[in-house]
Structure 1
Amino acid sequence: MTEQPAVIEIQMLGGFSLRYNGERVTVGRNSAPRFMQLLQLIWVKGEEGISRDKLMDSLYEDNGLANQNNSFNNLIYQMRKQMRAAGLPDADYIVKKGGLFVQDPNTPVRVDVQEFRELLKQGDAEIEADRRYPYYRKAALLYAGTLLPGLTKSLWVISESIELKNLYTRCVRWLCEYCRRRDNFSELRSIAASAAVIYPDDDWQAVHMEALTGLGRYRDAYKVYTQASHHYTDDLQLPPSEKLTEAYRVLSEKMNHEAGNVQTLREEIRRDGEKYRLQLNDINGAYYCPYLSFLDVYRILCWNMERMGRPVMLMVCTLTDRDGNVLQNEEKIKRVSDSMRKALHKSLRRGDAFTSYSNLQSLVLLAGAHQEDCHTIAMRIRRELREIAGQNTYFRYTASAAEELMKKIEIEHEIGKRAGSDEMDNVDGGITA
């Protein structure tokens, strides 16, 4: 009996690796030689194949070549030579079929991208949900991350990566809905947690929270929320998304209706600002709260103050340079934003509340204050900030009736999200304090 050749295992999702006989193999000296990109393109396309012109356009993009035929032939020669040198089978690896280049059918390979697509194809062919589920679940488990993350500047990788991400998103959304209908929160948690690691900016943390809430694991759900909200405010410089906000509200409502002692978790939520090293147990300072809690405080405070006939002002403080331009230096932003939180806590009254809208901006609620009071309050914040962070520290502010300014902030935030902006556009008319 003829011994079957060993299969070459190729991973391209979440990283690139090549294994043969169970051992990892490195081909070539560079991390991404062009002849390896040639093979990667062929492996991504699978049975679909690709023309020589598209191969060359993808590999060289805008770099014109005087003799593309010689270059292509040289790539093929170098690829086969380097594969043999690495201890892999002496094979063609790439063959021409019907005018297109495809992988050599005589060389057994197992490619994660091809398996992922095939599993989805098999799942799509199943009409019954229970029969489709195992194919989709295997596909989601196989998807370890974005395509070839080491080649994210290559246009062909970007294009293929977008297509694969769309397929993965469709798959995971279907799986999540399948689990919801069956109240299978344990499986929902596993699916959403993996998706959140791969694509942390796509709101999968909200689904993760939903699953943990359904399992009664409120503390874990809140931890997911705090990590995700800090990712939004610190890394993306945006407030938490609407889906994350909704997941937090569901968690809060569930806690309110659930029997048992949840006081410890509520106290943990109240102390969330400890990440910013504020002395929140100091009763003389203003109250720092996460953005979502700030929205609740804003609504309740405005309602109570309206009943008593007293105003509520909202102040937006934006870190700037000496000339009043929004601060750009990332290192300084991080340092000064921490100092701003401390300054706000110390310089505001006990009845005031504030939050971090982003690393650049803070929102401050001033109960019972009037427009003419805001300049005095801003000067007090400035003195405290410069005492903590140094004299060359600046910010500008805008202050107005809370309901009026908050509506404008929410509108601009929505416009920024639709436009793909990574920070809120500052409202005009602010001054350098």
Structure 2
Amino acid sequence: MQTCGTCMKNKKLKKQQVLYVKMFGDFSLEYQGISLIAKKKKETQFARVLQLIFHSGEKGISREHLEKVLFGERTLDDANHAIHSLIYNIRKKLEQTGLPKGKYIISRRGRFYWNKEIPFEEDAQVFEEYCSRARRAGDWEEQLELCWKAVLMYKGAFLKGSAQEGWVKAERERYQTMFRKLVKYMAELLRTKKAYIQLEKLGRHVSKAAPYEEGELLVLEALTGMGRTEQVEILYGETMEKYRQVYMEEELVKLKDFRRKMQEQLDHPYDILDNIQENMTERLEKVKEPYQCNWVVFREIYHMVARMIERSGQQVQLMLCTLTDMEEHPIRSDEYAEVLSRYIWESICRSIRAGDVVTRYGRGQYLVLLINTKPEDCQEIQKRIDAQFRKKNTVYEIRYNVKSVRSLNNAKDDQNLS
């Protein structure tokens, strides 16, 4: 469905005289700084009719299309009467919102239009206008300025919260494709100009407006270009954890590939060993606690430990702590798991040593590396964790699973035997 929505043509009109229609993200109407539509009404027939009429703009929407969207395959005795009754009720409701009195929706030759007496501005239509103007721009500076105006208009998928199929789904996919192409073009242009501050801004906007569309990769690239290596490492770990939790394996592969390219660029300035060591040394107050890290760092530490115990002969245990109910069923509910996650984390950290390592593996599950620990010692550690956890007066429990970390050679032998 192509859009040519009516936008404010007379620039002399004050901003507060325009009805602002937001289609990207959650649907909303705003007039004179006041929201006109409540959350509970955003999926009603009231909202669906307005969405269609605003988005169709000067072309209007046919009675047949409106009937199909509202009633689907249902057969009504008098669909025409039902639609006109609905339009009448919408006019009454709009009048109660504080809009200037008027007819709002007009009918002409079997089509419905928004009344031009109250000008409106729809974000999706403005987005398209900026994209079109950017393509026709004479120089790259003007083009980039228009691209920025377009990309910042996109604040989420088209009618993100709508469960409608048909025209909404088609438009959502069309705008997503336009947004991806726009971001790709802007990123290439900003790379060429080495405009890393703007590239970082672009990446952060993409991460917020379209999660898992590789916005984080643009931020990592920008931070790398500016030599902000410490921030790169932190963001990389956070991003890997975020992507892992939603099991987006394809995105994880992309992120790892970028990581390899990024590592090739991370060169530190010349320095002496004393300064390097001092910069790597942990703060004293942190050493009193176990090493707390994200899953990506935890896995790398696990790999390192498996190599070290080959020569040191130390025993290291991997312990999984799972939050369960009284019948030992894992807690997967968002509500319960998130409330108790802080409790179980604190209980573990207060019960293990500074040389041990802990990470949150997933909702209600935590992994602990117990360094220089025998299997029989794990029961005592579990008792300490349970004692801390019971102080929270909760009916939930922690289930434990423990396996010894195998050295590389032993792991290879196990693989050969299997």
2:362 partner SS: coil
Partner Cα separation in structure 2 for residue 264 and residue 41 of structure 1: 63
The aligned counterpart of 1:292 is: 296
The partner residue of 2:21 within 11, 34, 40 is 11
What fraction of aligned residue pairs are identical, expressed as a percent?
A: 24
> CA, structure 1 residues 389+27, in 2 after alignment: closer, same or farther (shift >3 Å)?
closer
Cα distance in 2 for partners of 1:59, 1:247 equals 46
Question: How far does residue 188 in structure 1 lie from its aligned partner after superposition?
Answer: 0.6
Instruction: State the one-letter code of the partner of 2:379.
Output: M
Q: Which residue of 2 aligns with 1:360?
A: 364
Q: Classify the secondary structure of the residue corresponding to 1:325.
A: coil
Deviates more, 1:255-264 or 1:379-388: 255-264
Are 2:19 and 2:118, in contact at CA under 8 Å, matched by a contact in 1?
A: no
Within-5 A mapping of 1:241-390: 241=252, 257-258=268-269, 280-282=286-288, 286-306=290-310, 314-334=318-338, 336-345=340-349, 347-348=351-352, 351-366=355-370, 373-374=374-375, 376-390=376-390
Note the alpha carbon deviations across 1:54-102, whole angstroms, 9 max, x for none: 42343356877553221111122333455566444735645557x7655
Which ranges of structure 1 fall in alignment gaps of 5 or more residues?
A: 272-278, 408-433
Summarize the Cα distance change of 1:29–1:184 in structure 2 as closer, same or farther, 3 Å threshold: closer
SS of residue paired to 2:287: coil
Matches within 5 A, 1:40-189: 40-46=51-57, 50-60=61-71, 65-83=76-94, 86-88=98-100, 90-91=102-103, 93-95=105-107, 101=112, 103=114, 108-123=119-134, 133-148=144-159, 151-155=161-165, 159=169, 160-189=171-200
Q: How many residues are aligned here?
A: 385
CA 1:361/1:250 → structure 2, altered by over 3 Å: closer, same or farther? farther
CA distance in 1 between counterparts of 2:396 and 2:88 reads: 61
Check the 8 A contact 1:9/1:109 in 2, yes or no: yes
Q: Rate the CA distance shift 1:384–1:23 in 2: closer, same or farther, 3 A.
A: closer
What is the CA deviation profile of residues 312-345 of structure 1, one whole-angstrom value per residue up to 9, with x for unaligned ones? 6544333223333211344543454334434444
Report if the CA contact (8 A) 1:95-1:102 is conserved.
yes
- Kept in 1: contact 2:321–2:366 (CA 8 A): yes
C-alpha deviation, 1:210, in angstroms: 2.7
**CA displacement at 1:358 relative to structure 2:** 1.9
Give 3-state SS (helix, strand or coil) of 2:121's partner.
Answer: strand
Cα RMSD of the aligned pairs, angstroms, is 4.7
Equivalent residue, structure 2, for 1:430: none
Alignment partners' CA distance in 1, 2:57 and 2:406: 58
Aligned to 1:152, the other structure's residue is in SS state coil
* One-letter amino acid of the counterpart of residue 364, structure 2: L
Q: Deviations over 1:267-324 (max 9, x none)?
A: 6xx68xxxxxxx8422xx6433222222322232223334557676544333223333
The separation in 1 between residues aligned to 2:350 and 2:39, in whole angstroms, is 58
Which residue number corresponds to residue 204 of structure 1?
215
Separation in 1 of the partners of 2:247 and 2:280?
A: 26
- Give the TM-score normalised by the residue count of structure 1: 0.68
CA contact (8 A) 1:352 1:367 kept: yes
1:140 shift after superposition: 0.3
